[in-house]
Each structure stands twice: as structure tokens, then as C-alpha cells.
A and B are shown apart, each in its own frame.
Chain A
Amino acid sequence: MRTDFGYFEEKQLGKPYDVKLLKRLYPYARPYKLLLGLSIVLMVVITLLDLSLPYLTKIAIDRYIVPQAESVQGLGRDVADSNVRYLRADLADAKVEAIVQKNADIFKRYESFALVKLDDLEQLEKKELAVLRRSDLAGVSMIAAYFLVIVLVTFVLNFVQVMVMEYVGQMIMHNLRVRLFEHIQSLSVAFFTRNPVGRLVTRVTNDIQNMHELFTSVIVFIFKDLFLLLGITAVLLGINWQLTLISFMVLPVVLLASIHFAGQAREAFRVLRIKIAEINTKFSETIGGLKVIQLFLQEKENYRDFSKLNHEHYLAGMRQVHVFAVFMPVIELLGAVTIAIVIYYGGGKVMTGSISLGALVAFISYMRMFFRPIRDLAEKYNIMQNAMASAERIFLILDSTERLPQPVSTVERGSTSGLKTQTFTSALDNITQIALKDVSLAYIKGETVLKRVSFKVSAGETVALVGPTGSGKTSIINLITRFYDPTSGQVLVNGIDIKKIHTFQLREKMALVMQDPFLFSETVRDNITLGKDGILGKNMQQLIKDSNCNTLIDRLPRGLDTVLAEGGMSISSGERQLISIARALARNPDLIILDEATSYIDSSTELKIQKALSNLMANRTSIIVAHRLSTARGADRIMVLNRGRIIETGTHDELMQRQGFYFRLYQLHSPNL
């Protein structure tokens, strides 16, 4: 089990294969056509070599070890009884001649050769036999040498094939993964709000991994297993077609058993997977809610539920054990039956001399080979099914195009690699004005969070948004950064609807400092630059100074190059604020969008943050969601929001004079809260 993300999806299983999905995978395989082809060729060659081994044994037996009964048939019944095996001795050789003379009683002499019954050979001395069967011995050595060579070559080819195949498979998956990641990343924020991060991560990691298995197992299945089966059939038909057909009588039964088993095994696996997923859920739920369980003294009940689930898992496991305990022996039994048929029917044919003994032995070896891939078939079926479900989920995401519409760019996209590099004809000028014109927004239909809001912010101005929770402050930020598009009305930058500006250009001009700064588990430097080049030496020092990060960076063991732990937890929330301010500074933006932190920060850090913020906002346009009225007071203009509407707007003094909502808030808060 790799991660526990998304195990709930295990309940769904795909079809074992789906041509449409495979077709969609093809473009990713295309760049590796040649290597893929090589791998397939290698596979075929290896299979052929594998097939040749039993055949070599057959040749060894027939030609050298056990002489053929037919070898003397041409001489007629009177000389050679076809039911006795003879060895032929060539009298031209002086040494052979000597042995024949010495043992004249067992040899029958003809003009240029002598025949001896195989059984009678045992009476000879070993040395004499060695001389007599010199060519046979040499032949066996030759065969052994061939065998050795083939075995070594197969070893090397196998290694090469596996490596090539793995490389190709992994590269294809790598490309698919990067492509999928980029695709998901390009989807709108709304998509991310709706889909839990865990699920999306599973797509990019586990599901792709499953696909990899699909890819390799399909290819191995078609080009290795199927080819091997076909190859064996061909070789066997070549040796003796009658025996082949008779041996294959068992095949329909094997096929039926396999199909039946595949169904059973799939069901068993499915139940097992569901049960283990349920157990995992229960486990993580218990760990997460343990306080509640303990407080309500639910340990016993919870254990009872768990052990029930666990027992169901046990039963499902036993079911699987049962299915395999039946299938494996059945297949082996059928294999044995085939061998019995070969011995009975094939043995009869050996007796009548229509096939050789070596052929019979080869038949037995080939039949053993034949049953191996069949036995693994069911397992492959499962893998494929699992992978198909993953493929389906991946393509579902790749098909979703939930993006905010972008203006059509006139310059073509660099699309050589997976990474899109986009350039545009006209860059957005410096931001001189931002305006919301009659904007309404509803995240969910019917629940309007902003109602016909209009305002303008000019360059250099600092505007504070004030109002209770849920009044729509954050939504305004979401619109200006174009995380969302308004339901109605327009957001304008320099008088242009931001829908007509490419989002990249728009966002390039602004910096967002979030309430809860998100830090990546990378170095502090990377967290500040966020991959932006060209911030070196002096610039960096200035940046650190402006953002008041000196003390923090001095404290860290490796300074700027300290890697922050998961979620940036190794530093305090105030320090995280400082880093996120440095991040904004590094961008040198026109517009600062600041969502002030609400969490408690000790007063000395608070002071540092205030200073850093004033450095950041100096000479820039800023829109601030203010949670502290002291922040709002410093702004050029304050907008008070309530229930999605701007109810008051003006400078601090104006609003104080007006004696409305702001006035009363301020009175309460002063001097400092």
C-alpha cells in the first residue's frame, strides 16, 4: 500500500480492457516507437530461443542418445526388426572394425557397416563404447554447447529487453504524469475547492503507476505469453499434428476453468480490496476521532465494529485462498492429464515408430511450458482491470476543461516539450487603476456573496476592506486575482476587462500575501524567489532587509538555504508572514493584495511585520483585508463591507465623522486590539 489517499475508489473496477482508452494512450507511446519495437522484437526472439531449448533436447535424444528404430528400416524386415533399436557401426574405421571383430557375436555385419542391438551394447566395455559411439558423444557435446550459447544469449537479451521495456514504460508514464500535473494545475481554483487534494494527488501518483502496470502487462501478454502459446502450438503441430490435437483436447476445459476462475478471483479480490479499504478507513477514523471515542467510552463498541470488519476481511481472505487452492491444483491436474495423454497416445506412436522418443520428451517439455502463462492469465486480468479503472479516471480529468477563459494569443505556443511557454504580443502596462463595476459573485448558485459591488482604486492608493466574517472581503480578493470570474459585472484593470488580459500577465503585476502563508518544504531562498531567477547577492540582501527577515535567517542553521520542514512548521507563524512578505517583495509588483493575519503574534514580531509591510506597500497600490483597525486607519481609503455590500467608504476621518458602523467599531477597539 503506497498511500492511503483515495482508497475509497477501489470499489470501482474498470472493464478488463477498453480499446478507446488504449487508443488514447497511443500518442504518449509514439515518441518511443523505435525502442518499443526493439523491445517487442527482443521479446519475440527470446520466446523463439526459449522454444528452441526443448527442441535441442529432442535432437540430442533422437540423434545421439537413443538411435532411431527407423534408421535401419530401409534394409527390410529380414535384417532389422522394427521393434528393436539398432546402432550402426561404420566399418571403415579401423578401431570400430576391431571392436566389431572382437564382439562378433552381437554384431550383424553388412558390406560397409555392422548393426548391433541397443540392448546388447551393454555387454561392451566402456572404452569400446566410447570408440563405437564417438560421433554420438561429439554430437551430445555439440548440442550441450549450442544449449549453453542459447542460454547465455537468452540471459543477455532478457536483461536488455526488460531494461528497454521498463525505460519506455516509465518514460511514457513520466510524460503522462507531467502532462496530467500541468493540466490539473491549469484548472481553475473552483476545481480545487471542489476536489480534495488527496484525490488529485492519487491521480498523478497511484493511478499513473497502475497505468504503468497496464502498459507493461498488456504488451508482455500479447507479445510474450500469446506468442509463446502460438509458438508452442506451431512447434508441436510441426512435430506431430495428430498428437498435438489429441493433447489439446484438454484445452477447452482449461479455458473454461480459467474463465470461471478469473471471474471468481476478481470477485474475491474485489471484496478483499473493499474490506481492506474499510479497515483502513476505520483505522484512520479511529485514530482521528480517538478523543471522542475515549471521552464517550466507546472503545468496546468501536472494537466490536472493527473486529467484525476484520473478520469479514478474514473471510474474504479465506474465500480468496479457497479460489486459488482450487484453481491452481485444477490447472496442474489438467497439465498432468495432458502429459498422461501424451504418454499413452504418444507412447503408442513411438511404438509404431511414427514419432521418435525425443519428440515425445519434447512434447512433455512443451506441454509444461504451455501451462505456465495460462496459470498467470487470471492475475494479469486483475491487473488490467485495475489499471483500466485508473486510466478512466485519469482521462476523465484530462477531459475536464474547467478553466477561466483566456484571450486568444496571437503568438504561437512553444509546444515542443510538455511545458507550455507562452509569449504575448503586448505586455500589460503598469497597473494604473483597478475597478469593480457592478460586480456580483455566487460560488454556489443562489448564494450570492457579493452584490453589485463597484469601486475604483488608483495607482499608489492604499485601500482597506473592513467588515465582519463572511461579508465578502476575501471574495473581492478572489476576483481581483482572477481566481474566480464574477457572476455578473466586470473587473477592470486600466479600464480593460481582466477577462481580456492573459491571467499570467495580470498576476505578474500583483503579489498576494495570504492570511495563512503557504510555504513549500524547500529552502527559504526558494520560498522567497519561488523559482524566479536573477535575485542575487545585493538584491537578495536588500530584500531580506526590507522584509525584516534578517533575524530569522541568521537564526536558521543554514541561513537562506535551510530547508523548511513539511508545511513550514519549523518556524513560527509570524516568521512565515515575514517570508511571505519577502516573497511579495521579490516580485516587485505594482499591486499588493494583503489578507491580514488574524492569529496571535507576539508584539515584537508584530512590529517587524508592520515595518516589513510598510516597506512592501511604499509607492505601490495596495488592497488590504484588514482585521486590525490600526491597519485600516493607515489606509488612504476604507471600505466597510457587510453581507456582500459596501456600506460605508471614505478615509478614517470621514468615516469617524459619519459615526456609522466603522465609528462604533473603532471606538471599541481603541486604543489597540
Chain B
Amino acid sequence: MKSFYLIKPYLQENRLRIVLGIICLITVDFLQLFIPRVIKWAIDDLAALQTDLMKLLAYALYIVGIAVLIGLFRYVWRRCLMGTSRRVEEGLRNRLFAHIQTLSAPYFDKTKTGDLMAHATNDIQHVRMATGMGMVALTDAIVLGTAAIGFMAYINIRLTVFVLIPMPLIVVSARFFSKKMHRMYGEVQKAFSDLTEVTRERFAGIRVIKAYCREKDSAARLETKSRDYIDKNLKLVRVTGSFFPLMVLLSNLSLVIILFLGGRQTIDFTITPGDFVAFIAYLGLLTWPMMAIGWVTNLIQRGKASLDRIDKIIKTEPEIDDMPDAKPIKKTRGGLVFENVAFSYGLEAAVSDTTQVLTAIDINLDHGKILGVVGPPGSGKTTLLSLIPRIYDVSQGRILIDGIDIRKIQLADLRSLIAFMSQEPFLFAGTIRENITFGADAKEVELIQSTQRAVLYDTIQSFPEGFDTIVGEKGVILSGGQKQRVALARALLNEAGIVILDDPISQVDMETGRDIITTVRSMADNRTIIIASHRISAVRFADHIIALDRGRIVESGTHTQLMANNQYYAKIFRLQEIEEEFINAH
């Protein structure tokens, strides 16, 4: 159990609860065994017809008394043990979450969100089951099992031995079947996710299906998958459908033995009629622990496997992290320098010419200046910007802020120097206010100011709930342009020295775009601004403009210089000028 350390602290923290819970559990087990004894006394007395109502009343009261105690102790153990497992679940989930937050972008490029989600839900649930039900069932199986056998042996050893014959079969088959069930269940799950995928794909590609009249084939395809899913289910049921009846059968076989052998023993007075009835009752108590042994070992195994998987995530070191000699830095007055920077996603990618996303990038930007970045889609603009706050680390060369390699600055400090607005604005389910302030205790004035500058204030005012409008998951209620401006306001609220804007006006109309650009320009002087855009109007005023093509800088200079150059930049500029003209004209 190398990954046991993950849950150890929570178990330690709850050790008193666990001990108390186990004591109560054992007490319950023993108390449970007493009820058959009381019944036995009553039956023996009744068989001999030697009793009276007072005595019967006493027996009845014993039973009720024991049952009340059982109820109380059972409540305590359930709360203690199940509660502990819930606590383990909570702690483990917190830990996983906290760790995932520290991991960096390259990890998420390699890992599917769905897989991580599965760890966060299924695996943690398995661990909870193993610690909760696992613990209970194991204790129960051992204590109740041995004690019941003890009580039975006390009545008659020979009969006990015979009655126990089917019991090992129960353990073995429970183990065998639950393993098999687990595997089959995995297959059912697999078939189910295939079915889901086929359905998803058909709905996502509905236009192709409709345009090519493939409705019939597509339904037939689903039917095949659905049938496959059913087949897997039926296979599973073949196992479960024989497992549970088999358990009943085996325990009933024991009952047959009691009836046959115990009946004979009662007749020849080896045991009393009460013993006979008590035996039946003990058997009832024994079946469950026997099944539990088989079942619980699997449960614990599964929990362990899940814990190992979680451990693997927690052991993953963030690829981008503070270097050991990283320095703190609070302010920047200096410029930003790219020195022969190259970048490629993933080191082992095979195809050689497409791996390099950025090649030989040299930029020297003084403090308080504006850098514009233009280039066709896929030329590397966004990648270039994401190197600055170390979303990715450069593959070659270095990036300097104030003359310090950014990899030698503490990550949190580096990022606090930068206000970043990404191309795809990501909004969280919450209010507009929360999405802009992001937990920072911004004053209302600052909030209003930043939204005004992002040309969003009037829009927010038009919502009935204003800043407290709930935007829904990923900001569904907002339009693309509104989301973009929320992200912009978020970046503007930050007083950071370096402002990075990735295509800030791609989804807003011309007029709003113009206002946003005015805002951006007014921020210059005391802040260094880097702005990437496919709209020339967003960069033409920049102190320095670079044009990227396939990861290389192909042109650089001021607007005037680039226009004179009459290459890519100039062409795009004129094209957009015409478009704007026409949009205004019509």
C-alpha cells in the first residue's frame, strides 16, 4: 500500500471515531448473536411446555432490550465509520483538486479532461467505499463470522462442521463472481461509452448526415452499438443473475443440512428443539459475512487501484514551476526581451517541419511601449504571447524581464506582473462581478472604471441584475463580444506592469473596437502592452509591430515603415480598410 499515505492523515485525524465505531460494531455483532439464544430458550421451554406468560414476557423484553441496544450501537458505528469514509473522501478530493491546480498547460495538452474527471469522481468514490463499507464489512465478516461459528459450535460441533461445508464455497464463489462481475461491468461501461461516442458524433455531424441523406445508416450504426451494449449487459446479467441465486442456493443448502442432520439430532435428543431453531437463525447471520469476505476483498482491491491512480496524479510534478534559485520580484520598470526564442509543443513529436511553432524570435521592447503582433491564423501569435507568463516554457533561447530570465523569477511574482487577456475568454459560472474581480477585493469605483474602459459598463447596466447577473456555465448568457469585454475588464482591473491582449476586438463591432483601442492607447506610458490581433486597426498605433508567418518574424517596424515595406502588413491593412468602408457604406 504505497499510496496509503494519502488517506493516512484523515484516518489518524479520526482515530477516536474509528476505534469507537469498531467497538460499537463488534458490540452489535455480539448482541445480534444473543437474539437467537433468547429465541432458543423460549422454544426449548415451549417444546417442553414448561413456561408461563411471565417468562415469555421476560424473553420478549430481552429481545426488545437487545434490539434497542443494537439500534443505538448501530447508529454510532454507522456515523463513526461511514462518517470517516466521507471525511477521507473530502480530504482526498481537496488534495487532488489543489494539486491539479498546480499543474501546467503541457500536462493538460496530454491528459483528457474526461479522464481527470473520472479520477475526481469514480476513483474517489471507490476509495470511499473501500474505507467505509470495506472497513465495516471486513470487521463484520471476521467478528460476526467467527462468533456465529463459535455459538454454533457451542451447541453442537458435528452439526456445525457439516453446516459449514457450503460456506467456503460462498467465499470462493463470491470472490470469483465479483471479480468476473467487475470485468464484465468494465465491458458494459466500455460499450456504453462507445454508444455515447457514436451518438455524440452523429449529432455533432448532423449536417453531413442530413446533407448526404445518411439518416438510415446512421440509425443502423446506433442500433449496432446499442445491440452491442445490450449483449454486454446480458452477459453481465448472466453472471449477476447466477451469482445472487447461487448465494441463496448455497446458504439454503446449509439449511437443508440443518433440517436433515439437525432434525435427526433433535429427534435423538443430541440437541434441543430450541438449538435447532437457533441454528437456523445463526445460519442466517453467517451467510452475509461469508458473502462479504468475497465481496470486500474486491472492494478493497478496487479502492487500492483507485488510490494508486490518484497517487499517480499527485506525484506528477508541474512542468512549469519555480526554479530552486527563483527570485522574488515585485515591480517592473524595465523592458521585455525575447532572445532567439524557439518553441515546439511536446518534445517527441515525430513530424519534423510542423513541430516548431516559433523559430528565432528576437524582440526588444522598452518599458511603456506597445508591441503589435499580426499574422495569419496559425502563425504563432497566441503561442508567442503565452510564453511570457510561462503558460509554456521556451524550448530554446530566453525571455527577459528587467534583464532577468523569466524562468528565474518566482512564478507567482511573474504572473502578478502581467495582466493577460486570452483569445478565448473563459468565464466561470458566477456573477459578472465575480468574473471581473476574480476574488480580488476591488472597490466598486475600480470595478465601474474598468468596465467603463472595457466599454462594458452600459451593457451591464442594461441587465436587470447589473453586476450581479449570473452568467451561467462558461458565460452562456453573454454574447461572444460581451464575454470578450468581461475578460478585458478583468485584465484592466489589474494594475500589472505588463498587459498582454490576445485579439481583444475579434468579436466586437467596429465602433466598440475603436473605443477599446482608445482605452488601450491611454494605458501606455507607464505600462508595457503587447497586443496581437488580426485587425490592423488594433495594432497600427503600436510603437513596434511584428508580422509572424509560420512561426517566424517576417516583417517588423512601425506602421509607417511596414506600409512602406508594402508586404503582408500593408496588404492586410488596405484590405481591411476597404471592408470597413463598405460596411459603413451599406
Contact = CB atoms under 8 A, between A and B. Distances in A.
A314 B273 CA distance: 50
A619 interface: no
Contacts of B215: 182, 185-186
Contacts of B48: 85, 118-119
Given A133-B267, A283-B117, A520 B205 contact: yes
Given A283-B117, A419-B219, A599-B377, A297 B473 contact: no
Nearest to A348: B53
A177 B212 contact: no
Interface stretch (A22-30, A259-267, A507-515): A507-515
A642 interface: yes
Interface string A380-398: 0000000000000000000
A15 to B, nearest CB: 27
B586 A643 contact: yes
Contacts of B104: 294
Nearest to A300: B439
B161 to A, nearest CB: 17
Interface residues on B, range: 35 or more
A296 B93 contact: no
A192 B71 contact: no
Interface string B508-520: 0000000000000
Interface string A270-305: 000000100111011111111111111111011100
Interface in B547-584: 571, 574-575, 578-579, 582-583
A89 B195 CA distance: 73
A508 B213 contact: yes
B259 A197 contact: no
B59 A347 contact: yes
Interface in B399-421: 412, 415-416, 418, 420
B151 interface: no
Interface stretch (A158-166, A220-228, A230-238, A630-638): A158-166
Contact of A333 (B70, B103, B260): B70
A313 B586 CA distance: 57
Interface residues of A, number: 160
A325 interface: yes
A600 B277 CA distance: 84
Contact of A285 (B64, B245, B249, B473): B473
Contacts of B245: 154-155, 158-159, 162
A598 B377 contact: yes
Contact of B49 (A84, A136, A197, A301): A84
B116 interface: yes
Given A65-B266, A348-B53, A148 B256 contact: yes
Interface string A649-673: 0000000000001001100110001
Nearest to B101: A299
A295 B90 contact: no
A329 B60 contact: no
Nearest to A572: B354
B429 A281 contact: yes
A337 interface: yes
B208 A126 contact: no
B97 A286 contact: yes
B176 interface: no
Given A167-B234, A339-B63, A174 B227 contact: yes
A144 interface: yes
B212 A507 contact: yes
B263 interface: yes
Contacts of B204: 197, 518
B376 A291 contact: no
Nearest to B276: A65
A219 interface: no
A361 B284 CA distance: 14
A129 interface: yes
A415 interface: no
Residues of B contacting A: mostly: helix
A61 B275 CA distance: 12
B101 A507 contact: no
A143 interface: yes
Interface stretch (B76-84, B139-147, B335-343): B76-84
Contact of A292 (B71, B378, B426): B426
Interface stretch (B236-244, B303-311, B538-546): B236-244
Contacts of A503: 210
A182 B205 CA distance: 14
B559 to A, nearest CB: 17
A288 B269 contact: no
A83 interface: yes
B207 A483 contact: yes
A340 B58 CA distance: 10
A448 interface: no
A126 B269 CA distance: 8
B125 to A, nearest CB: 8
Nearest to A163: B241
A364 B39 contact: yes
A192 B206 CA distance: 8
A574 to B, nearest CB: 12
Interface string B120-131: 111001000000
Interface in A30-62: 53, 56-57, 60-61
Contacts of A17: none
Interface in B416-435: 416, 418, 420, 422, 426, 428-429
Of A53, A322, A511, A531, most B-chain CB atoms within 10 Å: A531
B183 interface: no
A340 B61 contact: yes
A64 interface: yes
A351 interface: yes
Contacts of A269: none
Contacts of A673: 571
Interface string B184-203: 00000100110111011111
Contact of B120 (A280, A324, A360, A643): A280
Interface in B72-108: 72, 74-75, 78-79, 82-83, 86-87, 89-90, 93-94, 97-98, 100-105, 108
B254 to A, nearest CB: 10
A189 interface: yes
B571 A668 contact: yes
A511 B207 CA distance: 11
Given A205-B195, A321-B82, A518 B207 contact: yes
Given A129-B269, A351-B49, A468 B582 contact: yes
Nearest to B222: A181
Given A53-B252, A299-B101, A344 B56 contact: yes
A371 interface: no
Nearest to A522: B221
Contacts of B494: 296
Nearest to B48: A119
Nearest to A478: B207
Contacts of B264: 137, 140
A647 interface: yes
Nearest to B578: A664
B575 A668 contact: yes
Nearest to A171: B230
A93 B509 CA distance: 113
Nearest to B573: A668
Nearest to B427: A289
A518 B206 CA distance: 9
Nearest to B236: A166
A318 B391 CA distance: 40
Contacts of B248: 154-155, 158
B444 interface: no
B218 interface: yes
5 contacts: A140-B263, A144-B263, A285-B474, A343-B63, A645-B586
Given A144-B256, A144-B259, A298-B438, 12 more contacts: A140-B263, A147-B259, A173-B230, A185-B215, A290-B105, A291-B391, A325-B74, A340-B64, A483-B211, A512-B208, A531-B221, A642-B582
Closest 4 A-B residue pairs measured CB to CB? A336-B67, A531-B217, A301-B439, A162-B241
